[in-house]
Structure 1
């Protein structure tokens, strides 16, 4: 079902009609593409075995995230999470992602951001928050993002 390249380091599961993250993803996957599937949820512990540097989950039907779902992804540098059905983010959901450099979070249903939600993303350079229903931002939302080069807030 998923295609594996470069000695198992790249796993492409894009547009496979998946409703969950496949269990057969190689442990040493560095780049994991799960875009354009039918996933509605991510179970707790789904990323306990596979810890990629790049994770793409856009164009799914994810409506909620369990607390701590990304906690094991401490080496993650890129997270693409746009075009899902999220209406809110759990507090601290990105706190362990201190190496993250790129975060795309655009979602038409997301109406607010958690207070301090980006505070620990000290290496973040690119943040995409376009196409949301944001009417205001938490005070100091980007104050700790000293390496930020690009911030997308259009269509809010």
Structure 2
């Protein structure tokens, strides 16, 4: 029986390798130099469940780059060069449970990750440059159990009020864990109306 894991770590790839076995379920692409994901990059590996793209040079994704990955459950994008995530970047990933965007340079997140992302249970945005997060994004993730926010330069002004209300609701519902550990908020004088 063929292995369902493709180990492509530390190979110096600058793009997603072509001609991977179509039965691949785990694709390890960490520690390469991949800088972009094209729209058809995963057409040949529709059964992927775990995709690790950590420690690459990713800064952007083509529209629909992940749309062929209907069975994907874990997406690791840590330690890349991502500055922002477009609306609906992760559309059509109905089985996605873990999304790790830690250790990038993300300055803003969209209002939605996309259609069918309501099954996400873990979201990590640690070590980024986020100053605010839209409440509507968090509310679009009803199954969220673990949220990791630490080490972002949050602004303490009216823009963070929605996040505060969501966090209160999240804690009230007894969700398992969230981390604002070492979260600091810079005070910004403003008038909330």
- Give runs of aligned pairs for residues 2-151 of structure 1, distance below 5 A: 7-51=2-46, 52-117=48-113, 120-151=116-147
Per-residue deviation, 1:108: 2.9
CA distance in 1: counterparts of 2:115 and 2:101, whole angstroms: 16
Per-residue deviation, 1:16: 1.2
Unpaired runs of at least 5, structure 1: 1-5
- The higher-RCO structure (CA 8 Å, 6+ apart) is 1
Q: Is the 1:109–1:133 Cα contact (8 Å) retained in structure 2?
A: yes
Per-residue deviation, 1:99: 0.8
CA distance in 2: counterparts of 1:66 and 1:91, whole angstroms: 12
Q: Is the 2:96–2:117 Cα contact (8 Å) retained in structure 1?
A: yes
TM-score of the two chains, using structure 2 as the length reference? 0.74
- Quick check: which has more Rg, 1 or 2? 2
CA distance in 2: counterparts of 1:45 and 1:24, whole angstroms: 12
Q: Give SS of 2:60's match.
A: coil
What residue is the counterpart of 1:3 in the other structure?
Answer: none
CA distance in 1: counterparts of 2:49 and 2:115, whole angstroms: 20
**Structure 1 or 2: larger helix share?**
2
CA distance in 2: counterparts of 1:116 and 1:21, whole angstroms: 26
Per-residue deviation, 1:118: 5.8
Q: Is the 2:92–2:115 Cα contact (8 Å) retained in structure 1?
A: no
Stretches (4+) displaced over 2 A: 117-120
Aligned-residue CA RMSD (Å):
1.5
- Measured against aligned partners, the alpha-carbon deviations of 1:21-53 in whole angstroms (never above 9, x if no partner) come to 211311100000100101111122101111211
Unpaired runs of at least 5, structure 2: 153-193
